[in-house]
């Protein structure tokens, strides 16, 4: 699994858990997209790595039939989609981390600041983050330090925008 994906899959659930813990997620029912803005690990720009991989995929996709090409290019875009149902407490089913809950340190109607410090399967991660709501965009910024099983320390900075696409998930093509 590429390093950017490993980092994203650990940190994104913390973001959504922090949103849930704040009582008001800021996510209205409907289709939302994730737009990664920054992903630095130990000073390395992992979004640039992903862009290079995407360029290779785009070249490969040219030889595919149109439907397969469309699917491959969608996957390579880096934009994820998910649907929020009215009254659904789980923003990201299956991604929640019950053993690593963030602590809300400050909260208003448009902003939540949070921290976390936890160990999951022997790997300690601590950090801080902030989520702000601006209309149909929810921006999250998080900084974290992870100490792996070998004792190596990794610093991560992640910024992501969640963008509201529309009220009807089926009409917009989300599964």
Residue carrying the six token digits 């649907």: 83
Q: Is the pLDDT of residue 155 over 80?
A: yes
Q: Is the pLDDT of residue 30 over 50?
A: yes
Tell me the pLDDT of the chain averaged across its residues. 78
For residue 72, what are its two tokens?
Answer: 């491959």
For residue range 41-71, list pLDDT tens digits in order.
999 998 888 888 888 888 887 888 888 877 7
Q: What is the DSSP string of 2-34?
A: -HHHHHHHHHHHHHHHHHHHTS--S--SEEEEE
Q: Look up the pTM and report it.
A: 0.70
For residue range 97-113, list pLDDT tens digits in order.
667 778 889 999 899 99
């Amino acid at each position: 699994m590429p390093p950017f994906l490993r980092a994203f899959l650990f940190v994104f659930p913390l973001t959504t858990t922090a949103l849930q813990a704040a009582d008001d997620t800021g996510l209205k029912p409907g289709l939302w997209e994730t737009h990664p803005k920054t992903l630095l690990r130990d000073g390395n720009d992992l979004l640039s790595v992903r862009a290079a991989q995407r360029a290779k995929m785009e070249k490969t996709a040219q030889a595919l039939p149109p439907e397969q090409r469309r699917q491959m290019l969608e996957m390579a875009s880096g934009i994820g989609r998910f649907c929020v149902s009215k009254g659904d407490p789980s923003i990201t089913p299956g991604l929640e981390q019950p053993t690593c809950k963030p602590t809300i340190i400050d909260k208003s109607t448009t902003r939540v600041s949070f921290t976390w410090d936890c160990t999951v399967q022997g790997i300690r991660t601590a950090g801080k983050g902030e989520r702000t709501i601006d209309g149909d965009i929810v921006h999250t910024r998080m900084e974290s330090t992870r100490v792996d099983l070998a004792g190596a320390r990794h610093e991560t900075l992640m910024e992501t925008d969640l963008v509201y696409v529309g009220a009807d998930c089926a009409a917009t093509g989300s599964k």
